C-alpha cells in the first residue's frame, strides 16, 4: 500500500521539478519596448530561445513591470488584450504569432519532408575563397538563432585557427558602420570594425557566438560553426524609437577601451541637435563645443586646438584637404551637414598615417549612398536652401551621394541702414560621392567637392574665394586579413580681392594654391590583438602667392610674386597590439621629407645680422626643378592604455609632428585673403611635441561617460609678425616675420550622456598658449624676449550642449558657451616726436577684451513617424544668442583730436530668431 502512496508523490515531485526547470523566474521592466527589446531582456535571464516574425510586431509597443514571475504568466500578462499568442516548445523554445497560436503537434515525418517551409530553411551560398556559409534548422524570422556554418570540412585554416571576416552594415541603407564593437562569448576577444566597416577575426574551429554592439542600433548576435576560413557580413537594425537621440560616441565602451586618446567623435545626429546661426546646421560650430577647441570669436574662420594656431589643423573631407572650411567669412561652415556620415577630431595620439599639421586632424566622411533605394532631403531656411540625394545606381554594387546648397541672403541687406544696402553676399557648395563594389576584392570611390563665396561689403570692395577638390580611391583586399587603399587627388583654393576705394588706384589681387597628392595605405591583421599598418604618400604644392593688376582702367602698377613649389613625401609604420586584457599599446613612426623646389630667386642676407633689406648681400637664382632646400624630419607617435577596472582606464601618449606650410596672417581672426607660404631657406618648418595623460570612467552601464585629460605642448618655429608688417604682395616676406617658440598646456574635463530623453555633454578646460621670440636675427625683441599670450590664448572655457526629448515628435536643445576674452594690445599714451604726436602701445597682448558668453535655444518638431510614409518633414525653431549679449568681436581705437577713443565691435549684438523646414524622403 505504501508503495502505491509513493507513486503520486514521486509523480508530483517530478512535475514540480520539470516546471522549475522549464519555467525560470524572471524580473523585467518594459516601457514602450519593441518585441526585439522584450525578447532580448527575457533571453538574457533565461535559456529560452524565441522564434517570431518581426513584421507581425512592427508597430507593437509593450509596457509591463514584473518581479520573479514564470514565463507563461509573464507572456499572458504581456499579451493580454491583444491578438498576439505564444506557444512553448519542448526544448525551451518560444514561438510568438499573431492571430492563432502555433500548433506544435505535427504528424510523424512532417519536418523530414518539409525543411523549407515558413518556419525553417536551409541556406547555402559561397563564401570568400570558396568556403561555404550555411544556415541550418533555423527560423526564417530570427537570424540570431540560426547556426551559420562558415567554410567546409577540410577547408583552409590559418594555422590552427579559422579566419572569419566581413562587413557590418546598416540594414536600412547598406552603409558600412565603423567602430562597431564585436566580442566573442566565452573569450576575451573584443575588436572594432575599421573605417570601412570591415572586421577580421582568428578563432579556433568550432562553435562561437559573435556579439555586435553599436549605439543607435539594436545589438545583434550571430551563432557560427567555423569549419574553415570564410566570410560573414552582418546587418544591424536602426533603433527607430531613438531617431533623435544624440550619439556622441558610436561604441558604448570605446572611450574607455580604445588606446587612442584625445579623440572626439560626433555623429550627424549630434551635430543637427545643436542650435546654429540662422538655423543652418554647422559642423565646425559643433566641433567648437568640444573640450580643447576654441575660436577667437563669432564670424571667425578656423579653430584653435590645444593652444595651436588655425593653420596647424588638417581639415579633411573624404581625404581632401579643405584650406578654407567656411562661408561668408566664417559665419557658416562650408561643408553641407546633410551629406556627412562621421566627424572625428584627433587632438593627440594622431595616427601615423596623418602628417603635415602639428595640432589636430579633423577627418570628415560623407555618406556612401543607400544601396537599397533612393532617398533624399530638401531644406529651406531664412538664408539658405539645400537638397541631398543618395541611392543605388546598380543595386548592391554602385551607389551615389549628392548634396547641393545655396544662399539667397541679399534680401537681408535691404533691411539694413541705407549705407549698407549696396552690399551683397552669396555662396554655394556641392558634394558628390560614388562608391562601386567591383567584386569581393576591389572597391572604388570617387569624391568631388566645390564651394564658392562672393561678398561685396560696399560698392568699392569685392571678394570671391573658393575651394574645389577631387580624388579617386581604390580599396583592394589581398586576402581577408590584408588590404590596401590607394588614392590620387587634387586640392585647390583661390581668392580674388578687388578694391576701388581710390578709383585711380583700383586694383585686383588674386592668389591660388594647388596640391596634387597620392598615397598608399596598407593594413594587416596579424591576430585579434595585433594589427599592423604602413604606407607612403607624396604631395606636390604649387602656389601662386599673389598677382596684383589694375582694375577698371586705373593707374595702378601691376605686380606679381614668384610662384612656389614644394614636394612633401612620407613613409610610415604603425603597430597596435593588445598585450593582455588590461594593457594595449599603439606606436608608430613617420619619416617626412620636404623639398623646396625651383625655379626661384632666393635672397641671401649677411650672416649673423638681422634679416632686413639693408643686410641683403645677393640674390641666388635656381632653375626649374632644382632642389633649393631639403628637410628630413621624423615623427614619433606612441600611446598606451591600462584598464584599472572594467569601466575605468588610464592612457598616456606622446606625439611629435612637423609642418612644412604656414598660413600668413597678422590678424587675430583668419580671413579669406590670408595666404599660405612654404618652408624655404629662411622660414623653417614648424615642429610640435605633445605629451598627454588621461583618466576615463563610465557610469550606469556605460550611459554616462567621463574623461579628464592633461597635456603639455612645445612648438618651435611658429611665425609671428613684426609691428606694422606688410604681408600682402611682399617680395621679401622673411624680413617681416620672425620665429617664436610656443608652449601650451591645459586640463580638459568632459562628461557626456550619449542617449536617453535627456542627453548631451558638458566640458570645461583650462589652458594657456604662450609665445616667446627666440630669433636673434629678427631685430628688436617682442616684450623684451619674455613669453607673451598668443592671440588665441583663452584660459577658461565652458561649453554645455543639452537635448531633451519631450516625445517622439518634440525635442528641445540648448547650447551655452563661456570663454575668457582673448588678448589685445592697447594704446596707453601719446607723446610728441619731432613735433608730431605718436601713440605709445602696451606690451604685446598685455590686456584682454571682455569675456564671451552666449546661449542658443531651439525646438525640433517632427512630423508623424509612420514607417511606410513616403515623406517625413520636420521644423526647427530657435533663437541664436538668447540673452542678446553684445559679445565683443574686437576693440579698435580712433584718434580724435588730442585723445584716443576706443570702440567695441560686436558681430551679433542681439537675439536672432530662426526657422527652417526640412523634408526627408
Comparing 330-339, 776-785, 860-869, the range with the smallest average pLDDT is 860-869
Residues 191 and 318 placed together within one structural domain of the fold:
no
Alpha helix stretches (DSSP H) within 290-335: none
In a domain, 5, yes or no: no
In a domain, 115, yes or no: no
Segment 600-653, tens digit of pLDDT: 999 999 988 888 899 999 999 999 989 999 999 999 999 999 999 988 999 999
Comparing 107-121, 297-311, 788-802, the range with the smallest average pLDDT is 107-121
| DSSP code for 73 | H
Give me the CATH number covering residue 166: 2.60.40.1120
Q: Which of 257-266, 394-403, 508-517, 884-893 has the highest mean predicted lDDT (pLDDT)?
A: 508-517
Last residue of a domain, one of 49, 70, 104: 104
What is the chain's Cα-based Rg? Answer: 32
Is the separation of the CB atoms in 181 and 214 below 8 Å?
Answer: yes
Collapsing DSSP to helix, strand or coil, 20 comes out as helix
Higher pLDDT, 198 or 668: 198
Q: Which residues contact 837 (CB under 8 A, 6 or more apart)?
A: 830, 831, 895, 898
Nearest to 427 by CA among 463, 469, 373: 463
In a domain, 522, yes or no: no
Last residue of a domain, one of 238, 263, 295: 238
Residues 89 and 159 placed together within one structural domain of the fold:
no
In a domain, 765, yes or no: yes
What's the chain's length in residues? 921
C-alpha to C-alpha distance for 622 and 565, rounded to whole angstroms:
12
C-alpha to C-alpha distance for 603 and 601, rounded to whole angstroms:
7
Cα 106 to chain center, whole Å?
56
Residues 303 and 228 placed together within one structural domain of the fold:
no
In a domain, 2, yes or no: no
Residues 694 and 588 placed together within one structural domain of the fold:
yes
Residues 477 and 586 placed together within one structural domain of the fold:
yes
Last residue of a domain, one of 238, 264, 289: 238
> DSSP of 537-552, one letter per residue?
EEEEEEEEEEEEEE-S
How many domains would you assign to the chain?
A: 3
Residues 224 and 338 placed together within one structural domain of the fold:
no
C-alpha to C-alpha distance for 433 and 635, rounded to whole angstroms:
32
C-alpha to C-alpha distance for 822 and 271, rounded to whole angstroms:
26
SS3 readout for 329-390 = HHCEECCCHHHEEEEEEECCCCCCCCCCCCCEEEEEEECCCCCCCCEEEEEECCCEEEEEEE
Higher pLDDT, 54 or 9: 54
pTM: 0.80
C-alpha to C-alpha distance for 122 and 134, rounded to whole angstroms:
7
Q: In the predicted model, is pLDDT for residue 21 greater than 60?
A: no
Segment 123-151, tens digit of pLDDT: 333 333 334 343 333 333 467 777 888 88
Band of pLDDT at residue 820, cut at 50, 70 and 90: very high
Give me the CATH number covering residue 80: 3.55.50.30
Segment 425-467, tens digit of pLDDT: 889 999 999 999 998 899 999 999 999 998 887 777 888 999 9
Residues 557 and 683 placed together within one structural domain of the fold:
yes
Query: What are the distances in angstroms from CA 671 to CA 247, 301, 311?
Result: 33, 7, 12
Q: In the predicted model, is pLDDT for residue 271 greater than 70?
A: yes
Higher pLDDT, 115 or 536: 536
Domain extent at residue 313: 254-511+532-920
Which residue is associated with the grid cell 603597430?
A: 575
pLDDT at 130: 37
Q: Which residues contact 161 (CB under 8 A, 6 or more apart)?
A: 202, 203, 204, 205
Burial grade of 534 (CB within 10 A; 0-12, 13-18, 19 or more): middle
Band of pLDDT at residue 560, cut at 50, 70 and 90: very high
Q: Which three cell numbers stand for residue 818?
A: 563661456
Q: In the predicted model, is pLDDT for residue 9 greater than 80?
A: no
Which residue is associated with the grid cell 565646425?
A: 284
Q: Which residues pair with 342 in a beta bridge?
A: 267, 365
In a domain, 131, yes or no: yes
Q: In the predicted model, is pLDDT for residue 117 greater than 50?
A: no
Q: In the predicted model, is pLDDT for residue 412 greater than 80?
A: no
Segment 570-586, tens digit of pLDDT: 999 999 999 998 999 99
Comparing 39-53, 390-404, 475-489, 830-844, the range with the smallest average pLDDT is 830-844
Residues 415 and 559 placed together within one structural domain of the fold:
yes
Higher pLDDT, 736 or 516: 516
pLDDT (mean) for 8-18: 39
Cα 492 to chain center, whole Å?
22
What percentage of the chain reaches a pLDDT higher than 70?
84
In a domain, 3, yes or no: no
> DSSP of 397-439, one letter per residue?
TEEEEEEEEEE-THHHHTTS-GGGTT-EEEEEEEEEEEEEE-S
pLDDT at 917: 82
Mean pLDDT across the chain: 83
Is the separation of the CB atoms in 522 and 535 below 8 Å?
Answer: yes
pLDDT at 65: 86
Residues 553 and 485 placed together within one structural domain of the fold:
yes
Say how many C-beta atoms besides its own lie within 10 A of residue 357's C-beta. 25
Segment 521-534, tens digit of pLDDT: 999 999 888 999 99
Give me the CATH number covering residue 633: 2.40.170.20
Segment 755-783, tens digit of pLDDT: 778 888 899 999 999 999 877 777 678 88
Q: Which three cell numbers stand for residue 325?
A: 572650411
| DSSP code for 562 | P
C-alpha to C-alpha distance for 88 and 50, rounded to whole angstroms:
9
Q: Which residues contact 868 (CB under 8 A, 6 or more apart)?
A: none
Residues 232 and 297 placed together within one structural domain of the fold:
no
Collapsing DSSP to helix, strand or coil, 889 comes out as strand
Residues 346 and 295 placed together within one structural domain of the fold:
yes
Band of pLDDT at residue 15, cut at 50, 70 and 90: very low
pLDDT at 629: 95
Residues 495 and 560 placed together within one structural domain of the fold:
yes
Q: In the predicted model, is pLDDT for residue 398 greater than 80?
A: yes
pLDDT at 393: 92
In a domain, 519, yes or no: no
Amino acid at each position: 500500500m505504501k508503495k502505491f502512496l509513493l507513486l503520486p508523490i514521486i509523480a508530483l515531485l517530478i512535475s514540480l521539478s520539470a516546471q522549475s526547470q522549464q519555467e525560470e523566474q524572471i524580473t523585467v521592466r518594459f516601457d514602450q519596448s519593441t518585441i526585439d527589446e522584450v525578447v532580448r531582456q527575457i533571453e538574457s535571464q533565461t535559456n529560452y530561445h524565441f522564434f517570431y516574425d518581426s513584421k507581425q510586431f512592427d508597430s507593437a509597443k509593450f509596457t509591463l513591470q514584473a518581479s520573479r514571475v514564470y514565463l507563461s504568466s509573464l507572456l499572458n500578462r504581456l499579451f493580454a488584450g491583444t491578438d498576439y499568442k505564444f506557444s512553448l516548445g519542448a526544448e525551451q523554445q518560444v514561438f510568438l504569432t499573431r492571430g492563432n497560436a502555433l500548433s506544435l503537434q505535427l504528424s510523424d515525418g512532417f519536418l523530414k519532408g518539409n525543411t523549407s517551409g515558413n518556419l525553417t530553411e536551409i541556406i547555402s551560398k559561397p563564401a570568400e575563397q570558396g568556403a561555404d556559409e550555411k544556415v541550418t534548422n533555423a527560423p526564417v524570422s530570427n537570424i540570431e538563432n540560426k547556426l551559420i556554418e562558415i567554410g567546409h570540412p577540410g577547408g583552409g585554416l590559418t594555422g590552427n585557427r579559422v579566419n572569419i571576416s566581413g562587413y557590418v552594415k546598416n540594414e536600412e541603407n547598406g552603409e558600412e558602420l565603423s567602430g562597431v564593437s564585436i566580442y566573442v562569448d566565452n573569450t576575451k576577444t573584443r575588436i572594432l570594425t575599421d573605417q570601412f566597416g570591415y572586421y577580421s577575426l582568428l578563432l579556433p574551429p568550432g562553435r562561437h557566438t559573435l556579439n555586435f554592439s553599436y549605439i543607435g542600433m539594436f545589438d545583434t548576435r550571430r551563432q557560427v560553426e567555423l569549419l574553415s576560413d570564410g566570410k560573414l557580413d552582418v546587418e544591424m537594425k536602426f533603433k527607430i524609437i531613438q531617431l533623435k537621440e544624440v550619439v556622441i560616441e558610436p561604441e558604448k565602451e570605446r572611450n574607455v577601451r580604445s588606446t587612442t586618446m584625445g579623440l572626439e567623435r560626433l555623429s550627424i545626429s549630434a551635430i543637427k541637435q545643436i542650435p546654429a546661426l540662422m538655423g543652418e546646421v554647422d559642423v565646425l560650430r559643433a566641433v567648437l563645443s568640444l573640450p580643447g577647441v576654441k575660436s577667437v570669436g563669432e564670424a571667425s574662420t578656423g579653430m584653435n586646438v590645444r593652444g595651436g594656431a588655425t593653420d596647424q589643423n588638417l581639415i579633411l573631407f573624404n581625404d581632401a584637404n579643405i584650406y578654407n572650411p567656411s562661408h561668408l567669412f566664417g559665419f557658416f561652415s562650408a561643408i553641407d551637414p546633410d551629406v556627412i556620415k562621421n566627424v572625428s577630431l584627433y587632438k593627440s595620439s594622431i595616427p601615423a598615417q596623418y602628417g603635415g599639421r602639428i595640432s589636430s586632424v579633423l577627418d570628415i566622411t560623407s555618406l556612401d549612398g543607400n544601396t537599397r533605394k533612393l532617398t533624399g532631403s530638401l531644406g529651406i531656411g531664412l538664408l539658405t536652401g539645400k537638397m541631398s540625394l543618395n541611392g543605388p545606381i546598380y543595386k548592391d554594387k554602385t551607389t551615389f551621394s549628392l548634396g547641393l546648397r545655396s544662399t539667397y541672403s541679399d534680401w537681408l541687406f535691404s533691411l539694413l541702414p541705407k549705407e549698407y544696402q549696396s552690399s551683397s553676399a552669396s555662396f554655394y557648395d556641392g558634394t558628390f560621392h560614388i562608391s562601386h563594389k567591383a567584386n569581393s576584392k576591389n572597391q572604388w570611390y570617387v569624391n568631388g567637392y566645390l564651394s564658392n563665396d562672393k561678398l561685396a561689403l560696399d560698392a568699392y570692395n569685392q571678394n570671391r574665394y573658393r575651394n574645389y577638390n577631387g580624388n579617386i580611391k581604390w580599396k583592394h583586399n589581398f586576402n581577408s586579413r590584408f588590404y590596401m587603399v590607394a588614392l590620387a587627388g587634387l586640392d585647390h583654393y583661390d581668392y580674388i580681392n578687388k578694391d576701388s576705394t581710390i578709383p585711380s588706384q583700383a586694383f585686383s589681387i588674386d592668389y591660388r594654391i594647388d596640391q596634387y597628392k597620392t598615397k598608399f595605405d596598407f593594413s594587416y591583421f596579424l591576430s585579434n590583438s595585433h594589427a599592423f599598418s604602413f604606407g607612403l604618400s607624396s604631395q606636390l604644392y604649387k602656389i601662386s602667392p599673389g598677382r596684383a593688376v589694375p582694375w577698371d582702367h586705373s593707374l595702378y602698377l601691376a605686380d606679381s610674386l614668384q610662384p612656389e613649389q614644394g614636394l612633401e613625401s612620407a613613409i610610415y609604420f604603425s603597430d597596435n597590439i593588445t598585450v593582455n586584457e588590461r594593457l594595449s599599446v599603439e606606436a608608430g613612426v613617420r619619416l617626412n621629407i620636404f623639398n623646396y623646389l625651383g625655379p626661384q630667386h632666393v635672397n641671401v642676407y649677411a650672416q649673423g645680422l638681422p634679416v632686413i633689406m639693408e643686410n641683403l648681400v645677393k640674390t641666388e637664382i635656381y632653375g626649374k626643378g632644382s632642389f633649393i632646400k631639403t628637410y628630413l624630419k621624423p615623427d614619433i607617435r606612441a600611446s598606451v592604455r591600462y584598464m584599472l577596472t572594467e569601466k575605468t582606464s588610464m592612457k598616456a601618449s606622446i606625439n611629435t609632428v612637423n609642418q612644412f606650410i604656414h598660413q600668413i596672417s597678422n590678424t587675430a581672426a583668419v580671413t579669406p585673403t590670408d595666404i599660405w607660404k612654404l618652408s624655404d631657406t629662411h622660414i623653417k618648418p614648424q615642429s610640435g611635441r605633445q605629451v598627454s595623460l588621461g583618466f576615463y570612467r563610465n557610469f550606469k552601464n556605460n550611459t554616462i561617460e567621463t574623461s579628464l585629460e592633461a597635456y603639455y605642448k612645445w612648438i618651435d618655429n611658429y611665425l609671428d609678425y613684426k609691428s606694422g608688417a606688410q604681408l600682402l604682395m611682399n617680395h621679401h616676406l622673411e624680413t617681416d616675420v620672425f620665429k617664436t617658440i610656443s608652449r601650451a598646456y591645459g586640463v580638459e574635463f568632459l562628461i557626456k550622456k550619449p542617449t536617453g530623453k535627456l542627453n548631451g555633454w558638458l566640458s570645461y578646460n583650462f589652458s594657456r598658449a604662450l609665445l616667446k621670440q627666440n630669433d636673434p636675427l629678427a631685430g628688436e625683441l617682442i616684450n623684451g624676449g619674455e613669453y607673451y599670450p598668443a592671440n588665441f590664448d583663452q584660459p577658461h572655457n565652458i561649453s554645455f550642449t543639452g537635448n531633451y526629448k519631450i516625445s517622439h515628435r518634440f525635442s528641445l536643445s540648448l547650447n551655452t558657451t563661456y570663454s575668457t576674452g582673448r588678448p589685445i594690445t592697447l594704446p596707453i599714451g601719446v607723446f610728441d616726436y619731432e613735433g608730431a604726436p605718436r601713440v605709445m602701445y602696451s606690451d604685446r597682448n598685455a590686456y584682454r577684451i571682455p569675456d564671451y558668453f552666449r546661449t542658443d535655444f531651439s525646438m525640433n518638431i517632427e512630423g508623424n513617424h509612420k514607417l511606410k510614409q513616403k515623406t517625413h518633414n520636420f521644423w526647427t525653431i530657435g533663437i541664436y544668442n538668447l540673452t542678446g549679449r553684445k559679445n565683443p568681436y574686437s576693440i579698435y581705437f580712433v584718434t580724435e583730436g588730442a585723445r584716443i577713443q576706443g570702440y567695441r565691435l560686436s558681430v551679433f549684438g542681439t537675439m536672432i530668431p530662426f526657422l527652417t523646414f526640412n523634408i526627408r524622403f
